[in-house]
Chain A
Amino acid sequence: MTARKAASTLFMGALWVAGLVAVIPLVLIVYYVLLKGLPAVHVGFFTQTAPPPGVPGGGMSQAMWGTGLIVGMATLISVPLGVLTAVYLSEFGRGRLAVGVRFVAEILLSTPSIVAGAFIWALVVVAMHSFSALAGAIALTVLMWPIITRATEETLRLVPDELREAALALGVPRWKMVLRIVIPTAGSGILTAVMLAVARGFGETAPILLTSLGNDFLNTNPLQPTDAVPLRIYNYAQSAFPAWQTLAWGGAITLLGAVLVLSIGARLLSDRQQRRLG
């Protein structure tokens, strides 16, 4: 074997090892969470509320409803905000305002989530004199909006300029062109962006800790403290009761499953969108 071939094989081998090393943590996490959490997962897990300390069984239904409420509201706020901002940045913004908005989105993307939580606590919780699902939703919006904006802007930019020119040359006004041609063509790219943002929203603990507080009982009032799955996991994992610890693992499976489904779905959609445009 010549030296060059040996170097090539060595390098390829190193790449394979690196790839495996990257994949192993995910595999281990999934395996361990399944191992620990499957005993907790049964029908009751999804229908029953928090059990008293020491009592086996019970479920996290109030936490799941709470997560649904909080993340649902956050999605309702951040999707229109994010998509409209992305449309502005991609189609209309040229000056300093656009540069500023993009910069703000980049900064917010890497803001520590507890900072977002503390900020909304100071702004909303103190003003309302109450922890609430709404405050939790607003805190999540701060973290979800930049993801939607940046990812949607990227996907809108991928729509070929020739399509925009074709529509403009036919006498279609610019805003109609964006609405009828650009956004539908970007289509599933925008959905991908939303799914990635929602996946993040599901998993964030710190911001809702400071804004939504948690609740042992089912709450549907957005202005009251509400439970969420990450909060439950946080509390139960630190508790002394094995029953609660098992429930925490069950919660972990639920979260992991939701995030995996969203991420894989987003990836499949994204591939389909690329084939459509390419």
Chain B
Amino acid sequence: MSDTFASDSAESLGILETLVRPAVSRAGEREAESTSAPMVTVNGLGVAYGSKTALEGVSMLIPERRITAFIGPSGCGKSTALRCFNRMNDGISGFRISGGTVLLDGQDVYARGVNVTALRRAVGMVFQQPNPFPMSIYDNIALAVREHERGISRSTLDGIVEQALRQANLWDEVRDCLTQSALSLSGGQQQRLCIARALAVRPTVLMLDEPCASLDPISTGRIEELLLELSADYTIVIVTHNLAQAQRISDKVGFFLMGRLVEFGDALQVFEASARPETAEYVRGAFG
């Protein structure tokens, strides 16, 4: 290594350049791999709450096993779009789809007769404020698992709980206190518990709505590392206000503005060579 630093060959200069270039974006990293199939296809999606339009004409292809980030100023529809994928908007009064479709692996999510509980199992969600149930750490994870796997044995359940906590990088910290209340954990730990809880039911897609908004930078960093690891196995969609975070971890980025999807593309392109002027202004920090 020290030889390479010292020598003047063209090859060594190339390595040096790699070493010193700041790893701001990982967007270019996986281009060499084959492009992945779309896991979620959104076609002209429109959403309204009563007479108020929340989304209009949103179309995008969310690739599987990649991290897609939704960015944009407050109130522009990012969370609404996210919540359409697992139909969490259904309970809100006045909500209706005013047009378009959302396809999960080719199937229309809003078709008649869709089993919504099965959909929500396949599309997991983590919220901005950690919301563990006021129960033990073990029961937090076991509750939904027991719901979906009837008559599961205790030892199998133990295994699932351990695996979920390992996947969320939380196992080592809580392995000796699984019966303790989840509310006794720190904010960052609670959020990782919520991720473990969502992973335990074996989803295909994991959605996170500003998961690090209420966390300190160190916890945020740990969750970002976790998401990078998880993206090898899960399709991840994250809504974030933190542009640097989007640059750090996402492969694809969608920029929302006032209910419209202004631009959607590779993260590198959206951040450094935006096709639309509004996108360029937003990522520059001119507003938002």
Residues of B within 8 A of A170 (CB): 120-121, 124, 143-144, 147, 197-198, 201
Cα separation A271 to B132 with both chains bound (whole Å)? 22
Q: Is the CB of B134 within 8 A of A169?
A: no
A167 touches B118 (CB 8 A): no
A25 interface contact, C-beta 8 A? no
Within 8 A of B (CB), among A56-78: none
Interface size of B by CB at 8 A reads: 25
Nearest CB on A from B33, distance (A): 30
Is B91 on the interface with A (CB-CB < 8 A)? yes
A162 with B129, Cβ < 8 A, contacts A172-B117, A176-B147, A185-B134 known: yes
A166 with B88, Cβ < 8 A, contacts A94-B93, A171-B121 known = no
Which A residues touch B110, using CB under 8 A?
none
Q: Among A173, A180, A276, point to the contact of B143 (Cβ < 8 A).
A: A180
Size bracket, chain A contacts: 10 to 19
**Pick the contact of B120 from A171, A176, A277 — CB < 8 Å?**
A171
Quote the shortest CB–CB distance from A188 to chain B (angstroms).
12
Which residue of chain B lies nearest to A277 when distances are taken between CB atoms in the complex?
B134
Total A-B contacts with CB atoms under 8 angstroms apart = 62
Bound form: Cα–Cα A201–B144 in Å: 40
Whether B88 and A169, one on each chain, are in contact in the complex, defined by CB atoms closer than 8 angstroms, is yes
Nearest CB of B to A150, in Å: 23
Contacting A at CB under 8 A, from B79-125, are 86, 88, 91, 93, 117-121, 124-125
| Interface residue B5 (Cβ < 8 Å from any Cβ of A) | no
Contact across chains for B127 and A165 when beta carbons are under 8 A apart: yes
Question: In whole angstroms, what is the CA distance A276 to B181 when docked?
Answer: 11
Q: With A94-B93, A176-B147, A180-B143 given, is the CB distance from A169 to B124 under 8 Å?
A: yes
In contact, B120 and A162 (Cβ under 8 angstroms)? no
Asked whether any CB of chain A lies closer than 8 Å to the CB of B261, the reply is no
CB distance from B249 to the nearest CB of A (A): 22
B201 in complex: contacting residue of A94, A162, A171, CB < 8 Å: A171
B198 proximity list for chain A (CB < 8 A): 169-170
State whether the Cβ of B166 lies closer than 8 Å to any Cβ in chain A: no
- Residues in chain B near residue A160, CB distance under 8 A: 131
Say yes or no: is B58 at the interface (Cβ < 8 Å to chain A): no
Instruction: Quote the shortest CB–CB distance from A183 to chain B (angstroms).
Output: 12
Cross-chain contact of A172 among B124, B127, B134, B147 (Cβ < 8 A): B147
Q: Are A165's CB and B88's CB within 8 A?
A: yes
Report chain A residues within 8 Å CB of B132: 166
How far does the Cβ of B181 sit from chain A's closest Cβ, in whole Å?
A: 10
Assess the A162–B131 pair: CB atoms within 8 A. Answer: yes
In the complex, per-residue mask of B133-166: 1 if CB is within 8 Å of any chain A CB, else 0: 1100000000110011000000000000000000
Q: Is B194 an interface residue (CB 8 A)?
A: yes
Q: What does the 1/0 interface line of A221-246 toward B look like (CB < 8 Å)?
A: 00000000000000000000000000
Contact B147 A171 (CB under 8 A): yes
Ordered by A's residue number, 11 sampled pairs between the chains whose C-beta atoms are within 8 Å are A162-B127, A165-B127, A166-B131, A166-B197, A167-B144, A169-B88, A170-B120, A171-B144, A172-B144, A180-B143, A185-B134
List chain B positions with a Cβ less than 8 A from chain A: 86, 88, 91, 93, 117-121, 124-125, 127, 129, 131-134, 143-144, 147-148, 194, 197-198, 201
Known pairs A94-B93, A162-B131; list 13 more (Cβ under 8 Å): A165-B127, A166-B133, A166-B197, A168-B120, A170-B143, A170-B147, A170-B197, A171-B117, A171-B118, A171-B144, A176-B147, A181-B133, A277-B134
Interface residue ranges, A against B (CB under 8 Å): 94, 160, 162-163, 165-173, 176, 180-181, 185, 276-277
List 10 A-B pairs, minimum CB-CB distance, nearest first: A171-B121, A170-B144, A162-B131, A171-B120, A169-B125, A171-B117, A166-B131, A172-B147, A173-B117, A185-B134
